[in-house]
Amino acid sequence: MNPPTAPTVLITGATQGLGRGIALELAAQGCTVLLHGRDSGRLEAVAEEVRAAAPQVTVRTYLADLADLDQIHAMADRIRAAEPRLDALVNNAVAGGGAEPLRREVGAQGYELRFAVNHLAPYALTRALLPLFTASAPARVVNVASIGQERIDFDDVMFEEGYEGLRAYCRSKLAMIMATFELAAELEGTGVTVNTLHPAHLMDTRGVREYGLTPVTGIEEGVRPTVRLVTDPELAHTTGRYFDQFTDARAHEQAYDTDARKRLMALTDALVGGSAGPNTE
């Protein structure tokens, strides 16, 4: 069993790729790992893999489809009820450019899929778990973004005109970065830090291959900088930053437009606050 001081870390999208690698590394470091996935079979398989690799640690699983805000809220309720503490959250789950990038997809509430999974889901989950974070503080939120970023068009946030999957992905990742900056400012002084990073360039993941791109780096290249943001004691008070792997870097210029950030967050709060559909805003 873990000692009482073992950090507890929740990793979304833990059934493959970067999330699986992060889970294995954190377990090797003695953390209690909470694994999220949307396929029960894959989720249990990874949980067994982590337990076999690090039999001394505790592993628990949480099932939810992050394209459905109702499932996100329900999962957060289960986590708050079951977990005595939560020291870190790695928002890693992602919808990439897609195998059919010209086919626009939507989530359960009718929101564009990349925006829903890559931005609304991590924000909604983080927001719902804040009581557990603040009770466990110091705590860390790490948002896995991308160097691929594109300006958000506030006249067409759901990308209904001229849709393309990779562009939608890049817009959603910029939204994630903007939300990171806003949430970090809001939580200043609470002991909860919020940072974001580009983990590595074109890692060997299903999303990269599915879109038709050729991977150029292994998963381990992204695991190391991500785990650093979770565990490095020198980053205990670092918050509201965007990293390109290990380097404190500058994101897309729109991320520093305070009016754009506030506009995005007003929209985001309206969308995640109710799950009836896109007209609830």
pTM, 2 dp: 0.93
Rounded distance, CA 209 to CA 240, Å?
A: 31
Question: Taking Cα atoms as reference points, which of 213, 193, 195, 189 lies closest to residue 203?
Answer: 213
Give the pair of three-digit tokens for residue 37.
């996935």
Residue by residue, what is the 3-state secondary structure of the chain?
Answer: CCCCCCCEEEECCCCCHHHHHHHHHHHHCCCEEEEEECCHHHHHHHHHHHHHHCCCCCEEEEECCCCCHHHHHHHHHHHHHHCCCCCEEEECCCCCCCCCCCCCCECCCCCEHHHHHHHHHHHHHHHHHHHHHHHHCCEEEEEECCCCCCCCCCCCCCCCCCCCHHHHHHHHHHHHHHHHHHHHHHCCCCCEEEEEEECCCCECCHHHHHHCCCCCECHHHHHHHHHHHHHCHHHCCCCCCEEECCEEECCCHHHHCHHHHHHHHHHHHHHHHCCCCHHHC
Provide the pLDDT for residue 107: 97
Per the CB < 8 A criterion, the answer to whether 173 and 255 are in contact is no
Active site residues: 169
Rounded distance, CA 116 to CA 259, Å?
A: 22
| Residue 199 C-beta-side C-alpha neighbours within 13 Å | 31
**What is the full per-residue pLDDT of the chain (281 aa) written as tens digits?**
333 578 999 999 999 999 999 999 999 999 999 999 999 999 999 999 999 999 999 999 999 999 999 999 999 999 999 999 999 999 999 998 888 999 999 999 999 999 999 999 999 999 999 999 999 999 999 999 999 999 999 999 999 999 999 999 999 999 999 999 999 999 999 999 999 999 987 656 666 657 566 766 777 889 999 999 999 999 999 999 999 999 999 999 999 999 999 999 999 999 998 543 333 33
Provide the pLDDT for residue 217: 77
